[in-house]
Amino acid sequence: MLLLALGLVSGGIFWTLDNLGRIPAAYQDSWAVALVGFTLAWSFLALLNRHVTAFMAGTALIGVSLSLLLNVQAIAAWRETLVGLVLITIGLGIIARGLLLRQGGLAR
């Protein structure tokens, strides 16, 4: 929970500074990569701790962050890719949950 709170606070500070135009152009492209890394770490830690709800929320956020990454890199607009990527990552999360958490595949 502390990781989520730190992520939300730092994201809010970054978003505010970006709206004020105080973030250099070099960092404006890398925030989406940092968001993808944060959501991957969150999902992995939730998977290791066997928290299914946090893991599934993390997989949904991976889809959102990948959609934003595609938007920042000018590959596709986030409105066009958001629903598809979120559904794909949630589906992969359900498959991973079924394979790893139900069978006891991750030993402590």
Structural domain including 70 reads 30-101
Tell me the average pLDDT of the chain. 82
Closest among 92, 10, 78, 102 to 43, alpha carbons compared? 92
What's the rounded Cα separation, in Å, for the pair 7 and 11? 6
Question: What b/e string do you get for 52-64 counting C-beta neighbours within 10 Å, with b at 16 or more?
Answer: eebbbbbbbbbbb
Does 13 map to a domain? no
Q: Find the mean pLDDT for residues 67-74.
A: 86
- Give the global pTM: 0.71
Does 24 map to a domain? no
Query: Hey, CA dihedral for 83, 88, 92, 95, is it positive or negative?
Result: positive
Number of domains forming the structure of the chain: 1
Does 7 map to a domain? no
Does 45 map to a domain? yes
CB 69 within 8 A of CB 32: yes
Q: Is residue 3 very low, low, confident or very high in pLDDT (cuts 50, 70, 90)? A: low
Does 58 map to a domain? yes
Q: Is residue 46 very low, low, confident or very high in pLDDT (cuts 50, 70, 90)? A: confident
Does 14 map to a domain? no
